[in-house]
Structure 1
Amino acid sequence: MILPDINLPAILPDLNLLDNVLYTTSKSQVTPGDLIKFVIVLTFSIIFLRVIIIYLRRTLKDHVSKDVGEPILKLLYYGSLVVIFISILPLIGIDPSGLLLAGGVAGIVLGFASQNIVGNLVSGCFLMFERPIKIGDQVDVNGIAGYVTDIRIISTLIRTYDGLLVRIPNQQVFTTNITNIVGHPVRRFEYTIRIRYSDDAGAAIWLIKDLIDKEPFALLSPSPSVFVNELGDSSVNIVVRIWAPVSEWFGLKTRLLWNIKKTLEENGIEIPYPQRVLHIKSETEKKPQLAEEPNINRLEATEPVLNFEERVLN
Structure 2
Amino acid sequence: MANGFWGEIRRIIIVIIAAVAIVIAAGYIFDFIAIYEPVLIPYREYVLYAIAAIIIFGFAHIINKTIGVFIERASSRPGRRNFRGLYTLFRALIYGGAIAAFLAYIGINLTGALIGGTIGGLIISFALQNTVSSLLSGLLLSSSGIIKPKEPMSFYSWLFNSPVVGEVLDVSVLTTKVLTTDGLVTDLPNTALLGQSQFTSLINGDRLSYNVLIGFNPDVPIRQIINEATVSIDKIKENIGLLEHHSFFFSKTFNNSSVKVIFFFEDLGKFNTIVHEITTAYEEAYWKVKNKMAEDAKKPSGSVP
* TM-score computed with the length of structure 2 as normaliser: 0.47
Q: Which has the larger radius of gyration?
A: 1
* TM-score computed with the length of structure 1 as normaliser: 0.46
